A and B are shown apart, each in its own frame.
Chain A
């Protein structure tokens, strides 16, 4: 299975909004609602930020939102803050009953 495609890096200024894309295929992102997003600081454990395309776990800021169109999912962070600077990974369930991650996107604020 091939990794989902994410931009290597995105950047934004404090207060702005940014969007990170995650492109898969009709066998994963395009087929299921099971797309998740994770935030990871350097040398830290990944943290679930979005699940099932657009759901936020308890405690995650509402500045984080998710969406999907066709084979591409997106994570939007509004009102950027310095603390949002991290790596972000998407993942999707696949038609083979497996899970595939994206290559990760480094967000610079």
Chain B
């Protein structure tokens, strides 16, 4: 299957700071990538669709000014959590589609803890 990486895998930051998470497709190109958030023992929640060369599409209820997405190239999308607060602490996972049925392949996730 296709390989997607994320960096960092874990980050702890102070309230009010910004955190950048990178998502890379390692062995394929992705014009679209997806960003999810998952709170403990809850379902995956799609936050936004990252589009190479154009603006991201945000799901209802997700603040685009707080969660900045940049799809800089065909293999890289970044999610920046601006002015992070403790309630933003969560597991952030990206995915990129590839192959049959546009199967989504997930990165390993980034665990964010805001103190």
> Does A pair with B?
no
Interface residues of A (CB under 8 A from B): none
Interface residues of B (CB under 8 A from A): none
